[in-house]
Amino acid sequence: MKRIPDEACASICGLFCGACPSFPEECHGCFSDLVREGCRGCADHGFLDCAASHHITRCYECEEFPCVKLREFSTKPVINGICNHANVIPDSLRMKEIGVAQWICEKIAEHKCPKCGRLRNWFEMGTHSCD
Ligand SMILES: [Zn+2]
């Protein structure tokens, strides 16, 4: 299998794709050619095109950050009471502050189960059980 660059799991909009149930089996992130259906072309949000037109890589680099589009994105969808987009703005700010590579390390630490070491996805953070 082709190696996925580490930075692939830091999305344009500020999501940690390492916590996505589709990553890396069905999706290699929004910079790759293998993108899960819901994120293809960033769906109706179009962050990929938007970032290109602003000559930036990720939203936090943009002078319009946090724009209306990103703010709306951070409120939906809500699945089983969890909006996995909820932290894209603070997470983007953190990326800007400490750099993408360090941010990924932080996110891995946050999502790693202290017991089994597995990376918990967004929707199982509160419910994951190793048994
Ligand atoms: Zn566990």
- The pLDDT score that the predictor gives to residue 118 is 92
Q: Which residues pair with 112 in a beta bridge?
A: 119
- The pLDDT score that the predictor gives to residue 43 is 57
- The pLDDT score that the predictor gives to residue 7 is 92
- The pLDDT score that the predictor gives to residue 38 is 86
Distance 119 CA to ligand 1 centre (A): 8
Distance 130 CA to ligand 1 centre (A): 4
Distance 112 CA to ligand 1 centre (A): 8
Distance 120 CA to ligand 1 centre (A): 8
Distance 20 CA to ligand 1 centre (A): 16
**pTM to 2 decimal places:** 0.91
- The pLDDT score that the predictor gives to residue 84 is 94
Alpha-carbon separation of residue 14 from 28, 45, 70, 83, 88 (angstroms): 15, 13, 9, 14, 5
Residue 80 has pLDDT above 80, yes or no: yes
Residue 67 has pLDDT above 80, yes or no: yes
**Position 46 confidence tier, pLDDT thresholds 50, 70, 90:** confident
Residue 1 has pLDDT above 70, yes or no: no
The CA-based angle 114-107-70, given to 5 degrees, is 145
Query: Is the CB of residue 24 less than 8 Å from the CB of residue 4?
Result: yes
